[in-house]
Structure 1
Amino acid sequence: MTWAVYDNSINTTGWAQLDIHSNQSLDDSRQAYYFGLIEGLLTADLIQLHWDNNIRHYCDKEKQFCQNLFAFIAKNIEFMKSQIKLYANSDEYWHQIELTLTQLTGLEDGYRSTMYGIRPPGSPHLNVNVTGLILMNLITECGELEQVLQRKVKSVDLNDGHCSAIVRVLDDGSDLLVSHNSWTTYAWMLRLVKRYNMNYSNISGTSQAFSSYPGVIFSIDDYYLINSGLTVLETSIGNYNNSLWSNVVADKVVFEFIRNTVANRLARSGREWSQIFGKYNSGTYNNQFMIVDYNKYKKGTLPAQLPDDVLWVLEQLPGYVESGDVTHVLRQQNYWPSYNVPYFKGVYDLSDYTSQVTKYGDFFTYNKTARALIFRRNAKQVTDMSSLYRLMRYNDFKHDPLSRCNCTPPYTGEYAIAARCDLNDPNGHYPFSSLGFRPHGAIDVKMTNKDLFSKLEMIANSGPTYEQQPPFQWSNTRIVGVLHSGQPDTFQFPPVHVKWAPSSLRNVSFPTTTTITNTIV
C-alpha cells in the first residue's frame, strides 16, 4: 500500500516532516497519483495557509497579466500532453513528465477533498488546474514569466539574492560537506522537510530527501539528497539581456520544476543530470545548479587527489545551458562557493552582468561580490559540521568590513552568507532595493556529509539567522503588510537532525560563537 508519516512540528522545531512511500505493486501512474493524493490529504491545512500567504493576492493588481499567465500555462500543458501521447510509452523522459503531472493532479485532488469536500476521481489523470496548485509550483518561475509576458509592476526583483551554498572537502580529506541556505521573502516560512520513496520502474533516484514547502512536489530551495548518490543544490542567477526572453515559448519548453524533478529521478551522475535537465530548457527560474556525486568520493581522499566528476555545475538562461565538471576547483581551493552570480564566462557575458557592474559595481561580479569575499576569507575555517553551521548562519553586517556598502548607514544585512534585510534601516539610502529594508533574508540552513548522506539525513534549521543578530519575531519587527498565517511568532529554533522515522526531528547543538578575521586571502 501507499503509506506516509506526517509530523507537523512547525511550532516546536520550525519544520513539518512528511515521509511518503508508494505501493510498488501498482503501475507507475497509480503510484504517482496516490503519492500526490496522500500528500494533499495530509498537508491540506498547510497548503491553504501557504496559498493565502503567497498566491491568493498575486493577481489582484494586474488581472490581465494573470489571464496571459494562465493562457501560457494552459498552452504549455497541452504541449506536454501532446508529447506524452506520442512518446511516454517509449521515452523515459516523457514518461517521467507524465508521472510528474499525475502527481501534481493527485496533490490538488487530495487538497480539494480535505478543504472543500470535493470527492477525488480516484484514478490517475492529467487534468491540471491552471489556476490551482501548479501556481505554487511555478512561483519561483514567475519572475521570468513576468518579464516574458511584460507584467507592468513586477512582483519579483531579478537582482534579489536567492540562496548561498558551499561544497567543502576538508583539507585532510576526511569528509565532504554540502550546505545550502535559502533566501526569500519571510512570507514563505511555513516549512516542510520531505522524503519521497517512489517505486517507479526504470529510475535511479527512487528515494529523495529535501527541504520544501506546502503544496509543491519539488524542493524550490533546491536541496536534494538522492539515493542514486547525488546531492543537488542551486543558487539563482539573473538575466539582464532582454533579447533572451523571446526564447521562452509556451509550446517548446518544459517548466524548470518539472525538468528538475525528472533529472533527479533519472540521473546517475552529474553529467547525466545536466544532460537531462538541459532538455526543453524553459529559461525560467534560472540557476547555478551544483551536482555532488558522493559515489565518486571516498573518505580519506585528499582534495588534490579527488577524481573527476565529484562536482558538476550547470547554469541556465533562456535559450542557453552550459555545464561542466568543476572538480578541479575543489582540488585547487578545497571548496566551491555559490552566491547568485554565474561562474561560466559564457553565461555571465550572455546574461549581460557587465551592464549591472557598470551601474552598481562589484555586487554583480563573480570574484569581488561580498559573499565571494566572505567565503574566500572564511571557508578554510570550516573543519567540521559545527564550523560549517556557523559559516552558513553568518551575519555580522554592522561590524564586518565586507558588509560595508555605499549606503546610509554604510552597511547592509544583504552582504552576508545568511542575509537579514529586515534589519536594514527603513529610512536608509541604498543604491538599489536589494540592499535595503525588506522582508527578505536567509530563512534556513541545510547541511549533510558523507555519513549523513548515506542515510539521506541532514542537519537543518528553520528561520532567519539569530547567531549574531536578534531572533526574527513577527510581533517585534518593523515589517508590515506581509501575510504570515500559520507561522510561529518567533524563529529561534535550534538546529534539528532530520531522521526518517516517526517524530524524528531531533534537536542538536552547535557552538554559536565564531571568530572572524578581517584579512582577505
Structure 2
Amino acid sequence: MEKQSIRLCVLLLLLSTLASSVKTYQLQEATVYWDAAQKSVILKEEVMETDRGGAYGYFNDTLLLSGWGVLEICAGYGGVTQEDETTFFLAGYLEGYLTAGQMINHYSNMYPQLIKDEKVLNPLKKFLSKQDQWAREQVKLRRNSDPLWRHLGLILAQLDGLHAGAAQWAKTKHREPLSAFAVQFLNGVGDLLDLVPALTPRSNSSTGGASTFRMPGMGHCTALIKVLPGFENLLFGHSSWYTYAATMRIYKHWDFRVSDTHIATGKMSFSSYPGFLMSLDDFYLLGSGLLMTQTSIGVFNASLFSQLSPHSLLAWQRVRLANSMAHSGEEWALVFSKYNSGTYNSQYMVVDLSRVSLGHSIRTGALTVVEQIPGRVMHSDQTQALRRGYWPSYNIPFHVEVYNLSGYGVMWKKYGVDFSYDLCPRAKILRRDQAKVSNLSSLKHIMRYNNYKRDPYAKGHPCKTICCRNDLRPRRPRPGGCYDTKVTDYKMALQLVAEAINGPTTQGGLPPFSYVTDVLCLTSGNFTRLIFEFVRVGGGAYSVSNGEKKPRKRRALTDALARLPFVSNGFSPQMATTADDQREPADVAALSTNHGCHHHCNSNNNNNNNNNNKDSEAGESATSATTSATESGGGTASQSIGNGSVINPSGGSNGKWVRLNVGGTVFLTTRQTLLKEQTSFLYRLCQQQDLHSDTLHVTSHLTPLPQQVPPKHAHRVLCVRGAFNPDGLHDARRLMVNIGSSYSYGTEDQAEFLCVVSKELHTSGSGLGTEQSHKTKLFQIHGSRM
C-alpha cells in the first residue's frame, strides 16, 4: 500500500478560502429596493425591512462553524407592487451581494477542476454564449404565449441580478468582479461535467474505440427513499460525491411571491453552493409538496454527444423550471424533458407528499423517476417500489432503454457486474441494509456508510460503497468522494426542514480527510481537520395531507443560526474525533427573531395562486446544547432571546445562555457548550462560582475593552505574536484550544504563546493594567505553546 501522506495538488485554493472565511465570518442582513424612476437598485445593509423591501434576507457565513453557510431570501413581499421579473432580479441581486466573496472563492476552486485543458475554454465560452443568447431570444418571442418561457425569463432575471449584485460588492471592496462567463460557469457546473468532455478531444476512451466510447469520471451521488413497513414514515436521503474542492456549502431558503398563476411554488429549501441558483446535488424540498433528488448517469456511448446543441436549455435551467411549475411528479417530468441539452445526465426522483398518507396508503404518483441522456428523457411511475419498501439510486440507469443507449450493457460485458443495475456494489449493500433503516438516525448511518475494508460487497475499494472515500485508495488516490449527506422525513419535509452534514465520512474509524496548503498544493496525511456534525436546516409554511395542499401558519425559518453550538459571527472549529452518526444534531435557539422571513412571507400560500389545485460523515458527535426553556436559575427573573430561550441575568453557574465578546465580536452560546472541552480556558472560566455575568469579554492584550464593560468581567488572552496578525485576537479560533495541545499557524518563529489572565485584572482609568493575581499565574503555567 502506498504511503498515506500523498500530495493532492488539485484543491488549490480551498484551505486559503476557508482561512479567509475565518476572518470575514459574520452574519450579514440586507434589504434591496427597486427604484423604478431611476431603474436602479437601492441596497440597505444591516437591516431587513419586511414591510417595504423588494427583497430582504441574510447570509450567515457559518461554513467553518457547522460546515454550512445559510442564506435566506424573501422577495416580492414588500408593500410596493412589483413585476415578477423585478422580484427575481432583486432576489438574485441580494444573493449576489451577500455571497460575492464566497462566489469568487468557489469559482477559483472549481475552475481548475473542470478546465484541465485550456484548449476547451474558447469552445466552452462560445457554447455557453450561444445558449444564453438563444434562450433570451426565445423568452422575448414566446413569453406571452408559453408559461415555460415566461418563467425562464424570471430565472434569467435572477441570474442577471446575481451577477449585478456580486459586481456591486466587488466595487465596494475594490475587488475584481466576476465575469458573466464566471457566473454562467458556476451555474453550469453540473452541465459542464458532460459539456467539457464533449468539447474536448477524447483521450480517456474505453472499449469500442475512441470514437465511440469514453470513460466518464466519478459517479455523482447516492440516494435512498425508504418507506417503513406499515407506512409509518417516509425517509429521504442523499449523499453527494464530487471533488473535495467543492465543499464550500450554502444551504439556501428562498421564498418568492409570484403572481403568475402557472407557477406552483416560489418557495424552496435546498443544499447548494456559492453563486449557484440551483442545488447541483440535487436535494430540494419544495413548497408545492414535492421533494426532488438525483444521482448522475455516466454516458459511455460518446456518440450520443454529437446531438448536443446550444439551442437547448441546460439541465440546471430545466430543473428550476420543473421545480417551480410542477404540481406533481408527472408534471415535473414533462416540464423537465423539454429542450433537453443532453448535459448533466442524471436519474431524478420526484416524491409527491400529497400522494402519501402515513399509516394508510401510498397512492400512484408518489414517486416519479426521470432519466436523461443526450437525445432522450424517460420517466415512469415507481410508486410500487416505495410500497415494497425502498427506492435506491447509485449512478446506474433504471430504464432499460436508457441503460443500453448510454453503454452500460457493453460495459457490463467487458468489466463485469460493477456496471449492473441489480448487482453493482451499492445495489447489493442497499438491498441488504435498507431493512435496518427505521428512523432518521439509521438513515444517516446508511447514507454515511463506508466499511470497505470488511464489507465483502465493497471488495476492498473505498468507493464501492454508499459513501465513497476516493482519497483512501491505495493506488492513485484522489481528493474526492462522498462529502455531504442530507436527510429528511415526511413530517420534516412538510415544513421544508432537513438535517445536513458537510465533510467526508469517518464512519467505522476511517481517518478524517484534512486540509493543509502550501500555496500550490494540498497535502493529505499531515493536515488541518474540519469535522462537523449534522445540523438542522430549513423551515416552512406549507402543509400537505390527504392529497390536499393547505397553507399553514408560518414560523420564522430556522436554520444553522438556530442549530449550532455557537450562534455568532465568529469561528469555532469542531475539534471532535471520529464519532457515530447516530446522535441528534446540535440544536440551539436562534439568536434573533429578526433572522428569517417573517409573517409577510407567510400571508400567502407558497404558490400564491394555487389554492385549488452530490458526498461524508464527519464527527457526528452532536451534543445538544438545548435545555428546557423553563430554566431560569432558581427563580431569578429571566429574559428571552430569539425564539423564547432564556438567559439568566444573574449569570453564574446557573445561567443557560452566555454572550461571548471576542475582540468586539459577540457570540451567543451556552455554558453546556463552553464546558464541553474540559481543558480549554473557557471551561475554567465557567467553573468559577463568582461569575455573575451572562457576558464573557475576551480580548487580546492589544485590543482595548469597550468603555462600558466592567473590568471585573474582562478575561484577557495574551498572545505573544510573531510577524503576522499583530492586531490582537479577533476570531474565536483559539478559544477552544486545549491546554497542552499544539495549534501552529506557521513556522516556529511565528508560533504563539497563549495564556489566560483571570478576570481579576486591575485597571487604571479606562485601560487595563497588567497586575496579575494568583489565578493569572496559574493559567500562565498551564499555557499552551503554539
The verdict on a shared fold, with TM-score over 0.5 as the criterion, is yes
Aligned partner of 1:166 in structure 2 is 224
- 1:83 and 1:129, CA in 2 relative to 1: closer, same or farther beyond 3 A? farther
Bigger helix fraction: 1
Aligned partner of 1:506 in structure 2 is 563
DSSP-derived class of the 1:55 partner: helix
Structure 2 unaligned residues grouped into runs of 5+: 1-52, 205-213, 539-556, 566-575, 584-786
Aligned partner of 2:248 in structure 1 is 190
- 1:111 and 1:398, CA in 2 relative to 1: closer, same or farther beyond 3 A? same
2:463 to 382, 394, 414: 414
- 1:157 and 1:192, CA in 2 relative to 1: closer, same or farther beyond 3 A? farther
- 1:57 and 1:191, CA in 2 relative to 1: closer, same or farther beyond 3 A? closer
CA displacement at 1:511 relative to structure 2: 5.0
Query: CA contact under 8 A between 1:143 and 1:157: conserved in structure 2?
Result: no
Aligned partner of 2:375 in structure 1 is 319
2:422 to 359, 367, 384: 367
Aligned partner of 2:303 in structure 1 is 243
1:413-436 residue CA offsets vs partner (Å, 9 max, x unmatched)? 1011111111111xx3xxxxxxx5
Give runs of aligned pairs for residues 219-238 of structure 1, distance below 5 A.
Answer: 219-238=279-298
- 1:39 and 1:328, CA in 2 relative to 1: closer, same or farther beyond 3 A? same
1:137 counterpart = 2:190: no
Query: CA contact under 8 A between 1:396 and 1:416: conserved in structure 2?
Result: yes
Amino acid at match of 1:460: A
Q: Percent identity?
A: 34
Amino acid at match of 1:492: I
- 1:513 and 1:424, CA in 2 relative to 1: closer, same or farther beyond 3 A? farther
CA displacement at 1:370 relative to structure 2: 0.3
Amino acid at match of 2:188: L
- 1:116 and 1:327, CA in 2 relative to 1: closer, same or farther beyond 3 A? same
Aligned partner of 2:66 in structure 1 is 13
C-alpha RMSD of the superposition:
2.5
Task: Please give the alpha-carbon distance, in whole angstroms, between the structure 1 residues aligned to 2:97 and 2:202.
Answer: 37
1:3 counterpart = 2:53: no
Give runs of aligned pairs for residues 37-76 of structure 1, distance below 5 A.
Answer: 37-55=93-111, 59=115, 62-76=117-131
Task: Please give the alpha-carbon distance, in whole angstroms, between the structure 1 residues aligned to 2:480 and 2:413.
Answer: 25
Task: Please give the alpha-carbon distance, in whole angstroms, between the structure 1 residues aligned to 2:170 and 2:180.
Answer: 19
Task: Please give the alpha-carbon distance, in whole angstroms, between the structure 2 residues aligned to 1:344 and 1:191.
Answer: 32
CA displacement at 1:58 relative to structure 2: 5.0
Aligned partner of 2:514 in structure 1 is 473
CA displacement at 1:76 relative to structure 2: 1.1
Task: Please give the alpha-carbon distance, in whole angstroms, between the structure 2 residues aligned to 1:374 and 1:505.
Answer: 35
TM-score (norm 1): 0.87
My pick for the range that moved more, 357-366 or 415-424, is 357-366
Task: Please give the alpha-carbon distance, in whole angstroms, between the structure 1 residues aligned to 2:108 and 2:161.
Answer: 20
1:259 to 318, 327, 334: 318
- 1:57 and 1:462, CA in 2 relative to 1: closer, same or farther beyond 3 A? closer
Aligned partner of 1:204 in structure 2 is 264
Task: Please give the alpha-carbon distance, in whole angstroms, between the structure 2 residues aligned to 1:512 and 1:208.
Answer: 27
1:196-252 residue CA offsets vs partner (Å, 9 max, x unmatched)? 11112221121100000001100000000001000000000011222211221112x
Amino acid at match of 2:161: G
Give runs of aligned pairs for residues 68-467 of structure 1, distance below 5 A.
Answer: 68-117=123-172, 130-151=180-201, 158-201=216-259, 202=261, 203-251=263-311, 253-301=312-360, 305-332=361-388, 334-404=389-459, 411-425=460-474, 428=475, 437-467=477-507
DSSP-derived class of the 1:249 partner: coil
Amino acid at match of 1:498: V
Amino acid at match of 2:68: W
Aligned partner of 2:86 in structure 1 is 30
Query: CA contact under 8 A between 1:270 and 1:311: conserved in structure 2?
Result: yes
CA displacement at 1:56 relative to structure 2: 6.0
Query: CA contact under 8 A between 2:57 and 2:74: conserved in structure 1?
Result: yes
Task: Please give the alpha-carbon distance, in whole angstroms, between the structure 1 residues aligned to 2:500 and 2:313.
Answer: 31
Query: CA contact under 8 A between 1:5 and 1:502: conserved in structure 2?
Result: no
My pick for the range that moved more, 282-291 or 348-357, is 348-357
Task: Please give the alpha-carbon distance, in whole angstroms, between the structure 2 residues aligned to 1:57 and 1:159.
Answer: 12
Relative contact order (C-alpha < 8 Å, sep 6+): which is higher? Answer: 1
Amino acid at match of 1:16: G
1:27-75 residue CA offsets vs partner (Å, 9 max, x unmatched)? 111111111110011011111111111126854x533321111111111
Query: CA contact under 8 A between 2:536 and 2:560: conserved in structure 1?
Result: no
Structure 1 unaligned residues grouped into runs of 5+: 120-127, 405-410, 429-435, 515-521
CA displacement at 1:136 relative to structure 2: 0.8
Task: Please give the alpha-carbon distance, in whole angstroms, between the structure 1 residues aligned to 2:165 and 2:517.
Answer: 37
Task: Please give the alpha-carbon distance, in whole angstroms, between the structure 2 residues aligned to 1:160 and 1:502.
Answer: 31
DSSP-derived class of the 1:418 partner: coil
DSSP-derived class of the 1:401 partner: coil
1:95-151 residue CA offsets vs partner (Å, 9 max, x unmatched)? 1111111111111111121123499xxxxxxxx965221101111111221233234
My pick for the range that moved more, 157-166 or 110-119, is 110-119
Task: Please give the alpha-carbon distance, in whole angstroms, between the structure 2 residues aligned to 1:38 and 1:130.
Answer: 17
Amino acid at match of 1:506: R
Amino acid at match of 1:175: N
Task: Please give the alpha-carbon distance, in whole angstroms, between the structure 1 residues aligned to 2:441 and 2:248.
Answer: 25
CA displacement at 1:166 relative to structure 2: 0.5
1:346-378 residue CA offsets vs partner (Å, 9 max, x unmatched)? 100111111211332111110110000000000
Amino acid at match of 2:505: T
Task: Please give the alpha-carbon distance, in whole angstroms, between the structure 1 residues aligned to 2:490 and 2:375.
Answer: 36
Figure out how many residues of one structure are paired with residues of the other and give that number: 479
1:490 to 498, 512, 529: 529
Task: Please give the alpha-carbon distance, in whole angstroms, between the structure 2 residues aligned to 1:229 and 1:211.
Answer: 17
CA displacement at 1:461 relative to structure 2: 0.7
Query: CA contact under 8 A between 1:236 and 1:340: conserved in structure 2?
Result: yes
TM-score (norm 2): 0.58
Greater C-alpha Rg: 2
1:302-328 residue CA offsets vs partner (Å, 9 max, x unmatched)? xxx421011000000101010010111
- 1:505 and 1:190, CA in 2 relative to 1: closer, same or farther beyond 3 A? farther
Task: Please give the alpha-carbon distance, in whole angstroms, between the structure 1 residues aligned to 2:179 and 2:531.
Answer: 38
Task: Please give the alpha-carbon distance, in whole angstroms, between the structure 2 residues aligned to 1:472 and 1:437.
Answer: 12
Task: Please give the alpha-carbon distance, in whole angstroms, between the structure 1 residues aligned to 2:113 and 2:283.
Answer: 28
- 1:482 and 1:83, CA in 2 relative to 1: closer, same or farther beyond 3 A? farther
Aligned partner of 2:689 in structure 1 is none
DSSP-derived class of the 1:413 partner: coil
- 1:476 and 1:31, CA in 2 relative to 1: closer, same or farther beyond 3 A? closer
Query: CA contact under 8 A between 2:300 and 2:407: conserved in structure 1?
Result: yes
Task: Please give the alpha-carbon distance, in whole angstroms, between the structure 2 residues aligned to 1:10 and 1:76.
Answer: 33
My pick for the range that moved more, 337-346 or 62-71, is 62-71
Amino acid at match of 2:407: D
Task: Please give the alpha-carbon distance, in whole angstroms, between the structure 1 residues aligned to 2:530 and 2:343.
Answer: 31
